[in-house]
């Protein structure tokens, strides 16, 4: 299988996964760039996967479905353009020869799902929408910090070689924040330099690799003593709050929300 990041709007990627002359699209916020990519590559659309209800993820669903007849799959608990097949944690789809596992990852939105392809070659693939970004995570709009931490914990437990297909190119701004949290993290410094080079060439920084994220992403490292201490200091957490994983994670997210 081949992964194609179709740029849209100012910083979205609409992911296409291609097998032979067919493709699946994830989160088509806009139909036009997807239709162009399908035409350019000579592909027919086999299915549309949706992670959550935000307009930049579903805006092109109706037009694409009408243009291609592709079946739409989306989170059971969210308002996705009908008709769609509702999916939730534990569901498995078979698409283009791949097993697709559905994971509930609430936090950014209340019913957000992710799609995991454990048998993809050369390594597993995760489409995580706005839950996990390279160097960051989604804002908590509808869920709670406890839900978001739990969702990220479950994504972090996937195989280290997993290719993480995030829905936005937010990497450099996320890494600026990550360096404010952990200025002495040498893996982070190295990764920043690599991503700066990619962006300078006009290339996506994605997919990210999960085991790299575990080394550099503060939101996957909220229990690391260095991150915990930096957050405690920044937010003025009490000794008791510092021992509370959710309190530390919530303060880290709040810090990022206000970071410029
Ligand atoms: Zn979103
Ligand atoms: Fe988004």
* Pairwise CA distance, residues 257 & 260, whole Å: 9
Q: Is 53 a catalytic residue?
A: no
Query: What are the structure tokens assigned to 12, written together?
Result: 């979205």
Neighbours of ion ligand 1 (CB under 5 A): 54, 130
Rounded mean pLDDT of the chain? 98
Residues paired with residue 149 on neighbouring β-strands, in sequence order: none
Phi-psi region of 101 (alpha: psi -120 to 50; beta: other; left: phi over 0): beta
Give me ligand 2 centre to Cα 67, in Å: 23
Q: Among this protein's residues, is 112 annotated catalytic?
A: no
Separation between Cα atoms, residue 15 and residue 11, nearest integer Å: 13
For the chain, the first-to-last Cα distance in angstroms comes to 38
Catalytic residue flag (residue 130): yes
| pLDDT 10s digits, 146-205 | 999 999 999 999 999 999 999 999 999 999 999 999 999 999 999 999 999 999 999 999
CA of 104 to the centre of ligand 2 (A): 17
What is the set of domains in the chain, with CATH numbers? 2-257 (3.60.15.10)
Which candidate in 27, 53, 104, 108 is catalytic?
108
Please report the pLDDT score of residue 98 as a whole number.
Answer: 98
* Percentage of the chain lying above the pLDDT 70 cut: 100
Burial of 198 (0-12, 13-18, 19+ CB in 10 A): middle
Ligand 1 center to residue 54 CA distance, Å? 5
Q: How confident is the model at residue 50 (pLDDT cuts 50, 70, 90)?
A: very high
State yes or no: is 108 an active-site residue: yes
Digit-coded pLDDT (tens) for 53-91: 999 999 999 999 999 999 999 999 999 999 999 999 999
The β-bridge relationship of strands 44-49 and 71-75 is parallel
């Amino acid at each position: 299988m081949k992964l194609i990041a179709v740029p849209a709007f100012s910083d979205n990627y609409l992911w296409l996964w291609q097998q032979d002359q067919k493709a699946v699209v994830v989160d088509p916020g806009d139909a036009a760039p997807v239709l162009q990519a399908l035409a350019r590559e000579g592909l027919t659309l086999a299915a549309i996967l949706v992670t959550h209800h935000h307009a930049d993820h579903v805006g092109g669903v109706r037009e694409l479905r009408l243009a291609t007849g592709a079946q739409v799959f989306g989170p059971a608990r969210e308002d996705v353009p009908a008709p769609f097949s509702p999916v939730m944690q534990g569901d498995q789809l078979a698409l283009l020869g791949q097993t697709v596992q559905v994971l509930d990852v609430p936090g950014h939105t209340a019913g957000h799902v992710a799609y995991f392809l454990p048998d993809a070659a050369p390594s597993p693939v995760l489409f995580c929408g706005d839950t996990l970004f390279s160097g960051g995570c989604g804002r908590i709009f509808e869920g709670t910090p406890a839900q978001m931490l739990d969702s990220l914990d479950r994504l972090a437990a996937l195989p280290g070689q997993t290719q993480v297909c995030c829905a936005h190119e937010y990497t450099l701004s996320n890494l600026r924040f990550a360096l404010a949290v952990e200025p002495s993290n040498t893996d982070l410094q190295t990764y920043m330099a690599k991503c700066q080079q990619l962006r300078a060439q006009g290339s996506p920084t994605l997919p990210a690799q999960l085991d790299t994220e575990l080394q550099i992403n503060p939101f996957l490292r909220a229990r690391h003593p260095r991150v915990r201490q930096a957050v405690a200091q920044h937010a003025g957490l009490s000794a008791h709050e510092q021992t509370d994983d959710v309190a530390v994670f919530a303060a880290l997210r709040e810090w990022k929300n206000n970071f410029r």
